[in-house]
């Protein structure tokens, strides 16, 4: 389904269902005190990157409730990310296919049946004001239902049946807010989970990839693109994904890659198969054997991560690749504008978040279902100069080359970093 279709269904049908469920909860449901927490369900349907940012939450759940069994509901396209994180057994991952309305309804019915059969005692809704996730939380039958709630804020009504409502705070990194959801499970404050926020940086461990896997992936790439062999590879992700407004201008990518190629670096354009038209524009601008189209080349995220392990730099729009890079040693430059690194910055200590902090940024928020008002004119990204990005990229590449490492030293990173 298209994003706008999902928004319309959530806005009109979702609101009605939430209203009905709220009335039922108010007049016909009696709260029962939960016993020992044994089965926890996490609902995190949407983007792949959000799953990576939730890693500290999964770890905290295991620490706080060591005897509890964790399950998760994700969209089918995000299943592999949940598996790669290695925090939830594969058999405990429930999926919903959102490619079409019929597939969505069919899978949702199956998930509802599984939820009732498993009999969860706790459900954590990680979505930001999505009504479908709150509806699933209510229908799970769990005694404890945790989720973000608007409280005194206007708009984005999604019912009043979440009995551990957490105040959404746009000033805290989303990874921190996911931890707050865990705190709310047994909190007795109002709003739930009041407490000081620790200052230490949250992180995600590097994913284990055998050297043999990396070498095999490298040989495979060299076989199809001999022009990149023996050169430092810079990967670029110019696609916009579900939210094209987050994409740095395509002609800027053309200028950036031309500058990299001129200085002897190789360029790999990554993305999904549907990003091939974007890749063709960059290829036609450069016409170099050292510039290769890798859109659709990697069939799984693990294959992409293998390439990260022998590439020297990733330059990407805000989205999944920047967060996957946090599980690898690759240094990364990520463009922000419609969204802010203060909320969604990568957990990669080698990530540089380029963000100009315009008066209207961020315009894609939880309060507007991530629909920007700027009608595609993302000046917050257009004002990030290709020359400035090239300078920063060369700084990272040349410093790492001098030190014989793919990791730039902390002193070389001068741009704003997202804090979590």
The DSSP result for 159-213, as a single string, is: -S--SEEEE--TTS-HHHHHHHHHHHTT--SSSSS--PPP-SPP--PPPP--HHH
pLDDT beyond 70 at 411:
no
3-state secondary structure at position 233: strand
Per the prediction, the chain carries an average pLDDT of 90
The token pair that represents 370 in the structure block: 């991530």
* Residues 366/170, Cβ–Cβ less than 8 Å: yes
Please, which pLDDT band fits residue 295 given cuts at 50, 70 and 90?
very high
Long-range contacts of 85-89 (CB under 8 A, 24+ apart): 85/51, 85/52, 85/55, 85/58, 87/55, 87/58, 87/59, 87/62, 88/42, 88/58
pLDDT at 420: 59
What is the rounded distance in angstroms from the CA atom of residue 125 to the CA atom of residue 120? 13
pLDDT tens digits, one per residue of 170-187 = 899 999 999 999 999 999
C-alpha distances (whole Å) from 408 to each of 202, 341, 388, 396 are: 20, 20, 17, 6
pLDDT at 416: 47
pLDDT beyond 90 at 222:
yes
pLDDT at 214: 94
Sketch out the chain's domains with CATH numbers: 3-22+29-184 (3.40.50.2000), 211-412 (3.40.50.2000)
pLDDT at 403: 60
């Amino acid at each position: 389904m298209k994003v706008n279709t999902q928004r319309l269904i959530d806005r009109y049908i979702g609101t009605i269902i939430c209203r009905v469920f709220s009335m039922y909860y108010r007049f016909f449901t009696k709260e029962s005190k939960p016993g020992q927490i044994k089965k926890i369900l996490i609902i995190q349907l949407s983007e792949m990157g959000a799953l990576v940012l939730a890693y500290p939450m999964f770890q905290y759940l295991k620490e706080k409730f060591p005897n509890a069994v964790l399950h998760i509901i994700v969209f089918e396209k995000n299943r592999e990310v949940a598996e790669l994180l290695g925090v939830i057994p594969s058999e405990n991952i429930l999926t919903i296919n959102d490619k079409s309305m019929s597939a969505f309804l069919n899978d949702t019915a199956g998930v509802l049946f599984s939820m009732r059969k498993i009999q969860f005692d706790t459900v954590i809704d990680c979505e930001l004001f999505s009504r479908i996730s709150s509806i699933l939380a209510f229908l799970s039958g769990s005694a404890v239902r945790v989720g973000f709630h608007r409280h005194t804020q206007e708009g984005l009504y999604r019912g009043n049946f979440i009995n551990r409502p957490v105040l959404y705070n746009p000033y805290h990194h989303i990874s921190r807010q996911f931890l707050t959801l865990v705190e709310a499970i047994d909190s007795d404050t109002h709003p739930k989970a009041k407490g000081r926020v620790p200052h230490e940086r949250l992180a995600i461990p590097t994913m284990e990839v055998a050297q043999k896997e990396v070498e095999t992936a490298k040989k495979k790439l060299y076989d199809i693109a001999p022009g990149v062999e023996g050169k430092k590879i810079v990967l670029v992700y110019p696609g916009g994904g579900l939210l094209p407004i987050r994409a740095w201008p395509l002609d800027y990518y053309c200028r950036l890659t031309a500058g990299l190629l001129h200085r002897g670096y190789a360029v790999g354009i990554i993305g999904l198969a549907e990003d091939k038209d974007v890749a063709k524009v960059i290829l036609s601008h450069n016409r170099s054997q050292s510039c290769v189209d890798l859109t659709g080349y990697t069939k799984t995220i693990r294959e992409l991560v293998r390439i990260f392990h022998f590439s020297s730099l990733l330059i990407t729009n805000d989205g999944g690749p920047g967060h996957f890079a946090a599980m690898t040693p690759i240094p990364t430059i990520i463009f922000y504008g419609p969204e802010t690194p203060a909320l969604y910055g990568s957990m990669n200590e080698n990530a540089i978040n380029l963000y100009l902090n315009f008066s209207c940024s961020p315009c894609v928020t939880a309060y507007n279902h991530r629909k920007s008002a700027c009608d595609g004119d993302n000046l917050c990204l257009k004002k990030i100069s290709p020359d400035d990005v090239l300078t920063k990229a060369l700084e990272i590449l040349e410093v790492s080359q001098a030190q014989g490492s793919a990791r730039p030293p902390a002193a070389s990173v001068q741009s704003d970093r997202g804090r979590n």
